[in-house]
Amino acid sequence: MTKRNLALIFIILMVGAMFGTLFGQILGWMLPESVVRDFFLLSVDFSLGGLVGSETGVINLNLGFLAIQFGLSLTINFTTLIGLATAYYFLRYFR
């Protein structure tokens, strides 16, 4: 049994999440206004800046001579989870 690189696993899972989100956006665009469309478009947003109370979603580190901004925002919906599950299935199936 071969070991997989952790970076490869992370990249494959993120690609699955991106395809899942893209599929959800296309599905939301195609479906008429209904509860099903609202279900597929309902999303939860996570922001790195929200951890420190920043309204912009960005963490600013100002050292006087150097200013650095850190930002990360994740939007997860139902089809993103389907994309992650599909990518995980392919990772398990194609060893």
Residues 42-87: tens digit of each pLDDT: 888 887 777 766 777 788 888 989 988 888 888 888 899 999 999 9
What's the pLDDT tens digit per position in 4-43? Answer: 788 888 999 999 999 998 888 888 888 888 888 888 888 8
Number of domains in the chain: 1
Closest CA to 45 of 80, 13, 69: 80
Whether 1 maps to a domain, the answer reads no
Q: Which of 11, 39, 45, 46 is nearest to 24 (CA)?
A: 39
Is 80 part of a structural domain of the chain?
A: yes
| 34 found inside a domain | yes
DSSP one-letter string for 23-57: HHHHHHHHS-SSHHHHHHH-EEEEESGGGTT-SSS
- Residue 66, SS3? coil
**Residue 36 domain boundaries:** 6-93
